[in-house]
């Protein structure tokens, strides 16, 4: 593991402001800090969990959040601070997350996000559908989404 980053740890409510800040850097339709805080204190979000990787400077380098309901897990959001992209943080987070998920996993990813699609493919995700104008992005290549799934062996 890269010595600039900690081992993945569970996210906490204290991480909400940092997660919102990273989300703002990564997505034009970023989620507000209140949404990240809600995951920890609203009963309707039962089953939500995630991991963060910290930079040795004390900031969060990236995080992943998902929700397990019944026999499926949905990755709700996944972001790596652009300053740390390409350094293995996303791979570490996704591997840790998938090790914790005993069921099939679904996610949406912008069709133009080739780096993320490649990462998901290396972990066994496959495209099963697409969604037109799924994201509110000024970049036309980032508006449509693929729905990807990773099945678990039975």
Tokens of 87: 């350094």
User: Cα 48 from chain centroid?
Assistant: 12
Catalytic residue among 39, 120, 135, 146: 120
> Measured over all CA atoms, what is the biggest interatomic distance in the chain, rounded to whole angstroms?
42
Catalytic-residue membership of 146: no
Catalytic-residue membership of 39: no
Cα dist from 69 to 21, 74, 105, 148, whole Å: 27, 8, 11, 17
Contacts of residue 70, defined as CB under 8 A and 6 or more positions apart, other chains included, come to: none
Catalytic residue among 108, 134, 135, 146: 108
Residue positions annotated with a catalytic role: 108, 120
């Amino acid at each position: 593991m890269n010595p600039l980053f900690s081992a993945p740890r569970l996210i906490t409510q204290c991480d909400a402001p940092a997660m919102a800040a990273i989300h703002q850097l990564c997505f034009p339709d970023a989620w507000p800090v209140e949404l990240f805080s809600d995951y920890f204190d609203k009963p309707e979000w039962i089953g939500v969990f995630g991991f963060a990787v910290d930079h040795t400077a004390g900031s969060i380098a990236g995080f992943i959040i998902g929700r397990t309901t019944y026999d499926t897990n949905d990755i709700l959001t996944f972001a790596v601070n652009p300053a740390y992209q390409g350094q293995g943080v996303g791979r570490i987070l996704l591997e840790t997350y998938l090790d914790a998920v005993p069921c099939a996993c679904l996610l949406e990813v912008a069709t133009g996000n080739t780096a993320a699609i490649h990462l998901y493919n290396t972990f066994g995700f496959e495209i099963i559908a697409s969604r037109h104008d799924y994201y509110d992005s000024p970049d036309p290549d980032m508006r449509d989404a693929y729905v990807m799934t990773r099945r678990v062996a039975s």
